[in-house]
Copies of this chain bind each other. A is one copy, B any other.
Amino acid sequence: MSKLINRQFQLASRPAGEPEVANFKLVETAVADLTDGQVLLRNHYLSLDPYMRWRMNDAKSYAAPQALNEVMVGGTVGEVVASKNPLFKVGDTVRGGGGWQLYRLFGAAQLGLLQKVDTARIPMSAYLGAVGMPGVTAWYGLVKIIHPKAGETVVVSAASGAVGSVVGQLAKVRGARVVGIAGGAEKCRYVVDELGFDACIDHKAHPDLKSLLQALKQACPAGIDGHFENVGGMILDAVMQLANPFSRIAVCGMISGYNGEPIPMAAPQLILVNRMKIEGFIVSEHMEFWPEALQELGEGVASGQIKYRETVAQGLDAAPEAFLGLLKGKNFGKQLVKLV
């Protein structure tokens, strides 16, 4: 094989507040020749996810911070283009943590990161979205924490996103009334008209707590029994004001605070008043549920019951801008970067 050139984005510096393109740097290196046991993955799609913003900080968290001057961590799906390992052959389509780069070499000890995926009924890119980590995240928070009963009301923030869109559709299947919160009229229309949510609130049209609360109250006449939180801040405060007794909040993300802004919870006494359960989770710590979740998600996507939308940036060079756009909600649905 002639020498391949890898191109990758590394974290050049940690952001002070809002991240910018200058926090990333593009580095080119030759791909090394394979040694025994190694597999070379050519990334076709890179997944961009809000959690990456968090890892750019040098803060105590559930995962080690993204290292400076190393390739940005990220989920990818792609094709095996060289293999010296009997478990993978050239042409296999695999999902794995390929990072913000064109190629990744996996040693024998890292092959657990790769799963072969079947693209006969499910598009390759869906394995980074509804049939991947975001989908399982939605499934776990909804099924294992919120556990909605038919007739209950479930709210989800970032409702048109990769996670939120799946939360709502899974909740509908379970007989819940589902109310989304999203940024912009177009996203809200999509959430209701295409995804089948019962209602969706445009938080941009309700920039203060009083107004948001009023809209949420109208959309949730029987109060809120479950909430899937991706945003935090004012949205969480408004939801808590309408929380029913024994309501459950699955805390998946608090993107409103990722740049370091304080996002206090205004009235934690409501946890007691309403005997609420609030639980944070990270889907990678619940691997035992992935098979069950992926079964439902894969079937749903293959049959067309679970719908999703993607925003695809073209080419590795576009990754930093696409990522910054994601953090501002400029994407619509799952944000991907197409690398081939």
Residues in chain A within 8 A of chain B (CB atoms): 60-62, 232, 236, 245, 251-254, 257, 262-269, 271-282, 285
Q: Is the CB of A278 within 8 A of B272?
A: no
Q: Is the CB of B277 within 8 A of A277?
A: yes
Other A-B contacts than A62-B275, A277-B277, 4 sampled, CB-CB below 8 A, are A60-B273, A263-B267, A273-B280, A276-B278
Partner of A271, one of B60, B274, B278, B285: B278
Q: Is the CB of B280 within 8 A of A279?
A: no
Given the complex of chains A and B, what is the CA–CA distance between A285 and B236 in angstroms? 26
Q: Is the CB of A62 within 8 A of B266?
A: no
Q: Is the CB of B278 within 8 A of A62?
A: no
Q: Is the CB of B281 within 8 A of A285?
A: no
CB distance from A169 to the nearest CB of B (A): 23
Q: List 16 A-B contacts (CB under 8 A).
A: A61-B273, A232-B268, A251-B271, A252-B272, A262-B266, A263-B267, A264-B264, A264-B268, A265-B265, A275-B279, A275-B281, A276-B279, A277-B279, A277-B280, A278-B278, A278-B279
3 A-B pairs closest in CB distance: A272-B280, A264-B264, A265-B265
Q: Is the CB of A269 within 8 A of B257?
A: yes
- Determine the chain B residues whose CB is within 8 A of the CB of A282 once the complex forms: 272, 275
Given the complex of chains A and B, what is the CA–CA distance between A257 and B271 in angstroms? 13
- Determine the chain B residues whose CB is within 8 A of the CB of A276 once the complex forms: 278-280
Nearest B residue (CB) for A241? B60
Q: Is the CB of A263 within 8 A of B269?
A: yes
Given the complex of chains A and B, what is the CA–CA distance between A144 and B251 in angstroms? 21
Q: Is the CB of A268 within 8 A of B62?
A: no
Known: A62-B245, A245-B62. A232 touches B279 (CB 8 A): no
